[in-house]
Amino acid sequence: PLGEDGMYCIVNGEPFLKHLKESAEGAKAVIAWGSCASWGCVQAAKPNPTTAVPIHKVITGKPIIKVPGCPPIAEVMTGVIMHLVLFDSIPPLDSQGRPKQFYGNRIHDTCYRRAFFNAGQFVERFDDEGAKKGWCLYKVGCRGPTTYNSCGNIRWYNGLSYPIQAGHGCIGCSEDNFWDNGPFYHRLTTIPVPSVEANADKVGMAVAAAAAAGAVVHGVISKLRSKPNRGGE
């Protein structure tokens, strides 16, 4: 927090802001652990009365490696440190300063419920038949289509599970301003929802058209082959 000269957060009688700047002074790089350090998180949510900001708006002139998540996945945190130690270099980062290795894919892209999204099979309520069958949670607020993280492939607790597997939609905790991207149980209106019926109709029409085209081609070829050979032609 920058408000009141940083006095909203005190460590040992001094603003945390002072400790942060002193700690970063001799650092080769700064790792912003979690969404609070990476984006500001709940402290920076509207109306942000303490003027909370992420680390990169305080520490300048040094590489900032953002490892967002509330909290980040333990294996992701370990992987970032191991890369720095083993290779003595900063891992490849995306345009927002996140390690591409762990934040290069949307949760939507690695989600085991993705097939239900593509088929237009959605949970409408947490107690409906779709919820019992493990259908897609997008309509009850899942932010997987807009959230970049490794939850879908690394999971939590040594690969045991993650929120979507436990039956709750992703709230996008590794994305900037996720606290202001609510309400959490309403679907994102910017993502088109596929329809299982429409998809089935389209596929059926495409198959029928392909079959008809194939029949026509086969008929033409058969007709040509049945014609008598004239003059060696």
Q: Are 21 and 30 in contact (CB under 8 A)?
A: no
For residue 66, the Cα-to-chain-centroid distance in whole angstroms is: 15
- The domain that holds 43 is classified in CATH as 3.40.50.700
Asked if residue 157 and residue 115 are part of one domain, the reply reads: yes
Of 61, 78, 103, which marks where a domain is finished?
103
Q: Are residues 150 and 200 in the same domain?
A: no
Between CA 120 and CA 127, with CA 125 as vertex, the angle to 5 degrees is 120
The pLDDT of residue 227 is 57
User: CATH code at 133?
Assistant: 4.10.480.10
The reported pLDDT for the residue numbered 223 is 57
Residues 18 and 93 in one domain: yes
pLDDT along the chain (233 residues), means of 10: 94 94 94 96 95 96 96 96 96 97 96 96 96 96 96 93 96 94 83 56 44 52 55 49
Instruction: Say what the pLDDT of residue 221 is.
Output: 52
Q: How many domains does the chain have?
A: 3
Tell me what pLDDT residue 21 has: 95
Residue pair 55/30 in contact (Cβ under 8 Å)? The answer is yes
Q: Tell me what pLDDT residue 166 has.
A: 95
Query: Does residue 189 sit in the same domain as residue 205?
Result: no
Q: Are 202 and 167 within one domain?
A: no
122: containing domain: 107-194
Do 55 and 132 share a domain, yes or no? Answer: no
